[in-house]
Amino acid sequence: MTEPLRLGIAGLGTVGIGVIKIVQKQAELLTARTGRQITITAVSARSRDKDRGVNLSKFAWEDDPVALAKRDDVDVFVELMGGSDGPAKAATEAALALGKHVVTANKAMLAVHGQALALEAEAHGVQLRFEAAVAGGIPVIKSLTESLAANQITRVMGVMNGTCNYILTRMESAGLPYETVFDEANALGYLEADPTLDVGGIDAGHKLAILASIAYGTQVDFNGIEIEGIERVSIEDIRYAGDMGYRIKLLGVAQMTGRGMESRMSPCLVPANSPLGTLEGPTNMCILEGDSVGQIVLRGAGAGEGPTASAVMGDVCDIARGINLPVFGQPSTTLRQAPAARSTVAAPYYLRMELADKPGALAKVATLLGEAGISIDRMRQTGHTEGSASVLIVTHRCTRDALDSALDAMPGTGVLTGTPVALRIEKV
């Protein structure tokens, strides 16, 4: 038996406490499986006195996470503070510079500074691991990096923000508008301090940027992602989409195209009976597609104490077992900078337009779409109220550019009584 593997944990929120509980409860199992004892030597958090329901007296305490990361008795720095910069980044850099492994759940830090941190980790021959940063307990990083290593990845997709999926499915099941359910979710503590991170699609965008880097051998490029949140998804569109056999999900999709990397995080329609369509509440789902393996669907809890701590500890076990991998699946010096390609992949779209209830209104809209080269797959007009009617259109595959040109010309017809809604229908 080799020496124990000693952890220093910075950040004692839900996940940090979950990690401590696993190390204590499963000590025997961890040693049996990794061949090493796994221990915690020191911890750090903002408040030393807060009651966290766990006895911390056996661990050394550091007020400063950087000091924790530098301790001689820490082999693996476990970063669970969050935030793309500040103490998380400073402490991670300090640990890597001293040749210590780092395990983190920090998607923001990786999405923004992943390339620099990976270079640093690989220069020092240490591991920087982050299974917990994407989709909580779901083993998506490992599956993509290792299991699918012999595949050219053709598409990566995911519903990776549980709060958004909770809001969307709750709107549907309770028939409530976005604002009401948002307030409910807030009262339940489901939202980040800055809710835009969740409902604005930023948190999920961070995760997509990480997956795309591994999938396509590119440098993490969070700024290259087209991001649209769920704030403007209406209960009407959820209902109409449902009537046509679809559900609306905040879906991240990354594909490599001839023009560069196309990555989007946006509300999309998916078939209601597909795995994505059946996803309820805060559950997450990642879909990996490769040229040999076809489609792999991974589903599980995307957050929470147990699932996220399980992912953190999975990485710790890999390190205890001596597994040694490049941070993003290939040496970071070889990762390419791919240009961001915006919406080049054609798709069918769901359109909803409120039209004035007068003769020829529908014809004008249909003509405009036709002129933009967009053909109509299905159309439905719902009962009209107060002089306007909702017209629902599912188009055949078209480019976003063609669609935007048609939408731009729409107000000129003089028949719209509201702003049109256009949502992509992703083939899954």
Residues 197-226 that bind a copy of itself (CB under 8 A): 217
Name which of 70 and 142 has its Cβ closer to a copy of itself.
142
239, 275, 343, 422: residue in contact with a copy of itself (rule CB under 8 A)? 275
Residue 196 or 295 having the CB closest to a copy of itself: 295
Alpha-helix runs per DSSP H in 72-177 = 86-97, 107-123, 140-142, 162-174
Q: Mark the segment that binds a copy of itself (CB under 8 A) among 59-67, 146-154, 205-213, 374-382.
A: 146-154
330 forms part of the interface with a copy of itself (CB under 8 A): yes
Task: Give me the catalytic one of 207, 249, 364, 427.
Answer: 207
Q: Kindly state the DSSP code that residue 148 receives in the 8-state scheme.
A: T
150 binds a copy of itself (CB under 8 A): yes
Q: DSSP class of residue 143?
A: I
* Cα 13 to Cα 30: distance, rounded to the nearest angstrom: 23
Q: Closer to a copy of itself at the Cβ: 173 or 295?
A: 295
| Window of 70-78, 130-138, 255-263, 370-378 that interacts with a copy of itself by CB under 8 A | 130-138
Element (H, E) at 228: none
Crossing angle between the packed helical segments 305-320 and 14-25, to the nearest 10 degrees? 60
Binder among 56, 67, 98, 325 for a copy of itself (CB under 8 A): 325
Strand pairing report for 226-227 and 5-10 = unpaired
Piece in contact with a copy of itself (CB under 8 A), picked from 120-128, 137-145, 176-184, 354-362: 137-145
User: Which residues, in sequence order, are bridge partners of residue 257?
Assistant: 260
Residue of 237, 318, 354, 426 interacting with a copy of itself (CB under 8 A): 318
3-state SS assignment for residue 216: helix
Q: In whole angstroms, what is the distance from residue 41 CA to residue 74 CA?
A: 7
* 337 contacts a copy of itself (rule: CB under 8 A): no
Q: Is 148 in the site for a copy of itself (CB under 8 A)?
A: yes
* Distance (Å, whole) CA 217 – CA 313: 26
Using the rule CB under 8 A, is 138 a contact of a copy of itself? Answer: yes
Provide Rg for the chain, Cα atoms: 24
Is 107 one of the annotated binding-site residues? Answer: yes
The alpha carbon dihedral of 282, 189, 142, 318 has a sign of negative
Query: How many Cβ atoms sit within 10 Å of the Cβ of residue 336?
Result: 11
Helices vs. strands in the chain: H and E counts, helices first? 14, 16
Look up residue 336 and give its amino acid.
R
Residue 67's Cβ-count burial label (10 Å; 0-12, 13-18, 19+) is: middle
Identified binder of a copy of itself from the candidate list 267, 307, 348, 420, rule CB under 8 A: 307
- Note the Cα 166 to chain centre separation in Å: 14
Which stretch, 44-52, 141-149, 225-233, 250-258, contacts a copy of itself (CB under 8 A)?
Answer: 141-149
5: contact with a copy of itself by CB under 8 A: no
Does 316 contact a copy of itself by CB under 8 A?
A: yes
322 binds a copy of itself (CB under 8 A): yes
Please return the burial class of 304, using the count of CB atoms within 10 Å of its CB with bins 0-12, 13-18 and 19+: middle
Q: Which of residues 68-127 bind a copy of itself (CB under 8 A)?
A: none
Query: What residues form DSSP beta bridges with 155?
Result: 289
Identify the residue among 47, 55, 57, 334 touching a copy of itself (CB under 8 A). 334
Question: Is 37 a residue that touches a copy of itself (CB under 8 A)?
Answer: no
192 is in an annotated binding site: yes
Among 74, 75, 77, CA closest to 90? 77
298 forms part of the interface with a copy of itself (CB under 8 A): yes
The answer to whether residue 410 forms part of the interface with a copy of itself (CB under 8 A) is no
Helix axes 14-25, 27-34, angle to 10 degrees: 80
Q: To the nearest whole angstrom, how small is the minimum distance from the Cβ of residue 391 to a copy of itself?
A: 32
Q: Does 147 bind a copy of itself (CB under 8 A)?
A: yes
Q: In the numeric block, which tokens belong to residue 289? A: 């597609």
Concerning whether 207 is annotated as a catalytic residue, the answer is yes
Among 294, 373, 387, 418, binds a copy of itself (CB under 8 A): 294
Active-site residue list: 207
Binding residues for NADPH are 107
Interface contacts to a copy of itself, rule CB under 8 A: 18, 22, 26, 29-30, 32-35, 131, 137-139, 142-143, 146-152, 217, 273, 275, 278, 290-301, 304, 306-307, 309-311, 313-314, 316-318, 321-325, 329-331, 334
